[in-house]
Chain A
Amino acid sequence: QSALTQPASVSGSPGQSITISCTGTSSDVGYYNYVSWYQQHPGKAPKLILYDVTHRPSGVSNRFSGSKSGNTASLTISGLQAEDEADYYCSSYSTTTFDIFGGGTKVTVL
């Protein structure tokens, strides 16, 4: 099964808001609200920043928010900061592969 579809890159200036989309199918993103997002800085392991589409683990900034409509989930980063420059991956439960990731989006802070 192909990875979930994410834009390869998104950029924004400090203080701006950006949104990253994650498109799947009715067998994964659209099936349940079991969508999560991970942030990965270069050379580091990914870090969970959102789960169940909209929920933030303890300690994650409230500048990160999530939503979902049909087969597409979205991550919004508000008040963009230099430290937000990283790769972001969505993930979803899948009825065929149990877990599936998106291809990743590189966020650049201009």
Chain B
Amino acid sequence: QVHLQESGPGLVKPSETLSLTCTVSGDSASRYYWTWIRQPAGKGLEWIGRVYTSGGSNLNPSLKSRVTMSVDTSKKQFSLNLSAVTAADTAVYYCARGLALGNWYYFDSWGQGTLVTVSS
């Protein structure tokens, strides 16, 4: 049973960089892709991007200029950096596993989510 856990600061100042790490346990981090998704309070889900074990990534075009993702399979961790944050980036951030099911990849395991607030 895979378990994902997000970690990182819960409060980030405007214009600074939000940095989160997701630690994977119970399975290898090298056979899937890993995704970040966020959800502002009371709102819907927004896909941020995904990172492959090769280190490559696909990013949401609306956030691409501010986002970097990385993966460290030896530590079973993958990370998100979002630069130049504003209040609009305040949200619960989830990490999730992209598992090949049927004909595509779907988010079959999720972390519990971590609230990040952008405020001075």
Contacts and interface: CB of A to CB of B under 8 A. Distances in A.
A48 B106 contact: yes
A103 B47 contact: no
A51 B60 CA distance: 21
A30 B3 CA distance: 33
Q: Which interface class (under 10, 10 to 19, 20 to 34, 35 or more) fits B?
A: 20 to 34
A51 B45 contact: no
Nearest to B46: A101
Interface stretch (A9-17, A77-85, A90-98): A90-98
B115 to A, nearest CB: 11
B101 A99 contact: no
Contact of A46 (B61, B62, B107): B107
Contact of B47 (A32, A47, A55, A97): A97
Nearest to A104: B44
A69 interface: no
B108 interface: yes
Q: B-side binding surface: helix, strand, loop or mixed?
A: strand
A101 B47 contact: yes
Interface residues of A, number: 27
Contacts of B62: 1, 97
A33 B102 CA distance: 10
B91 to A, nearest CB: 13
A87 B106 CA distance: 18
Contact of A102 (B37, B44, B108): B44
B45 A104 contact: yes
30 contacts: A1-B62, A3-B44, A3-B46, A32-B104, A33-B103, A34-B103, A36-B106, A38-B107, A45-B94, A45-B110, A46-B110, A47-B110, A48-B107, A51-B101, A52-B101, A91-B45, A93-B104, A96-B61, A97-B47, A97-B61, A98-B50, A98-B58, A99-B50, A100-B47, A101-B44, A101-B45, A103-B44, A104-B43, A104-B44, A104-B45
Interface of A: 1, 3, 32-34, 36, 38, 45-48, 51-52, 55, 57, 89, 91, 93, 96-104
Given A57-B108, A89-B44, 6 more contacts: A91-B47, A98-B58, A99-B47, A101-B44, A101-B47, A102-B44
